Amino acid sequence: MSSAATTPEFNRGPQPDFDKFAPSRSYNQARKYKDLAMRVLIYIAFLIALIPLVSVLWTCLAEGYKRLDGYFLSHNMVNVIGGMYPYGGIFHAIIGTVEITLGAMVISIPIGLMCAVYLVEYAQKGALSSTISLLVDVMSGIPSIVAGLFAFSLFNIIVGPGTVNGFVGSVALSLLMIPTVVKTSEEMLKIVPNDLRECSYALGVTKQRTITKIVLRTALPGIVSGIILAIARVIGETAPLLIASGFIANTNFNLFSGRMTTLPVYVYNEYSQGLATCSAAALKLNPPCLPGIRMERAWAAALVLILIVLVLNIIGRIVAKVFSIEGTQK
């Protein structure tokens, strides 16, 4: 039997000329040029985006290291007058920043996380879930000064007039943190594959245990990143804490009693006072009066604030890595 007889019917006709669909040399060259141009534009955009970041970091380092030492970190502003020695420090501001931020985290993280779990796992796209989403969007646009006024007014009504302490500042900051925690946690929970939920339900696991042991564990790295983002959003706030927590020169460890100073408020207070007035005799003292001591303290406090945010980011990454699914399997 001849080979023509065994050839299928659809192979007997003329074959299509695929060569005419091949890109020409000029077309390939044009694509390479376009690709090169886009790469150059992306690199330029990346470098432009780095300029303000590097500029801020460099300025804080260059100006802040002058006053950043053990004395500055371990003393407060008690008995500090103008530019005369003792030059003062930020120990009270560090304590206030840490305590007020931790208080805001204790309030906002559980509320924001449970709200996100409800919206993703329990809400049925009804009026309640739509209302909650709308309120969260509205809260995310609230000016920080309004949050401070609300917290101040709330505690003046509940506790009494003139109530200003660290916990009031924590409540003000929690109002700013909750929308960020809700939105980031909601998006992280949404990207968890439904197959994981269905497999858990098929094995007879309850919904509550599925959420806590599978869904939240899977989304934990993203949730922690969102929490760190929320902390970075509020740790540098000044306006609400000026109203809610005030300013004090000594160290206050009690979050629920008395005024507390935070690093942003400290920076604002030092910068707003300007240069210190030093007489000719004071300039010759040992140690001398320093006219620019307030600006040095402001820059050093700003550098410490940046370092605290850096440490929080490192801790968040470590926690996310340790408690993630991949981390628990190693």
Spatial CB neighbours of 262, under 8 Å, sequence gap ≥ 6: 93, 96, 97, 100, 169, 241, 245
Residue 327 identity (one-letter amino acid): G
Whole-prediction pTM value? 0.84
Rounded to whole angstroms, how far apart are CA atoms 300 and 208? 48
The answer to whether 274 touches 294, Cβ cutoff 8 Å, is yes
Average pLDDT rounded to a whole number, residues 186-211: 92
At 322, the pLDDT band (50, 70, 90 cuts) reads confident
The answer to whether 97 touches 308, Cβ cutoff 8 Å, is yes
Q: 5-9, 78-82, 324-328: which has the highest mean pLDDT?
A: 78-82
At 302, the pLDDT band (50, 70, 90 cuts) reads very high
258: alpha, beta or left, given left = phi > 0 and alpha = psi -120 to 50?
Answer: left
- Each residue of 141-177: pLDDT tens digit? 899 999 999 999 999 999 999 899 999 999 999 999 9
- Each residue of 49-73: pLDDT tens digit? 999 989 999 999 999 998 999 999 9
At 29, the pLDDT band (50, 70, 90 cuts) reads confident
Rounded to whole angstroms, how far apart are CA atoms 318 and 327? 10
Rounded to whole angstroms, how far apart are CA atoms 211 and 85? 58
Structure confidence at residue 89 (pLDDT): 94
- Each residue of 227-254: pLDDT tens digit? 998 998 899 999 999 999 999 999 999 9
Would you kindly state where each structural domain of the chain is located, as residue ranges? Answer: 26-64, 69-323
Residue 126 has pLDDT above 90, yes or no: no
Structure confidence at residue 316 (pLDDT): 83
Residue 2's φ and ψ, nearest 5 degrees, are: -75, 160
The domain 69-323 belongs to what CATH superfamily? Answer: MetI-like (1.10.3720.10)
